[in-house]
Amino acid sequence: MQNLIKKLNLMFLICAVLSLLEYISIFVFHKLGFTPNVTGDDLRNMGLIFFILSVTSGIALPIIFRTLLHGKLIANKRIKLSEYLRYNIYLFILAYISVVFSSVNYFLAAPPLYLYGSVLAALWGIYGVMPGKKRISTETKYYRVNIN
């Protein structure tokens, strides 16, 4: 169990550090004056597209992945440790992809609704993969993960 917790904590740390570096680098780009020349309807449309992509990858797809894992549990009565780790890796990837989409909105200086909505979706995605000891033990019991 401790080995699983260490692996998930390491994956979370990598995801969180990459996310912070991405937002910091875009902040620095804005301070240095590197901003795109997108305005008006193009900016609004691009902001909406990246908002939808951020919500999809940060909220909707993790729900679908959890449903698929639950379907495997019903079919097999147990989940292998490798499947559980792969499931968590996919969730970390989705959370990071959500951060990428929201950071594009930040870089574009999209309208506030799309920018803040995409940042909230990215934060929700990262929060959803946060590996708490209680969450991991509950999930491994619920999904009957073979930890051997």
Length of the chain measured in residues: 148
Buried b (16+ CB within 10 A) or exposed e, 12-24: beebbeebeebbe
**Residue 148 pLDDT > 80:** no
Q: CA angle 108-109-112, nearest 5°?
A: 135
Q: What is the pLDDT of residues 27-49, one digit of tens each?
A: 999 899 888 888 888 999 999 99
112 residue type, one letter = P
Strand locations in 10-137 (E): 79-80
Structural contact between residues 87 and 24, judged by C-beta atoms closer than 8 angstroms:
no
Distance of CA 16 to the CA centre of its chain: 10
pLDDT digits (tens, 9 = 90+) for 48-86: 999 999 999 999 999 999 899 888 888 888 888 888 899
pLDDT value, residue 61: 94
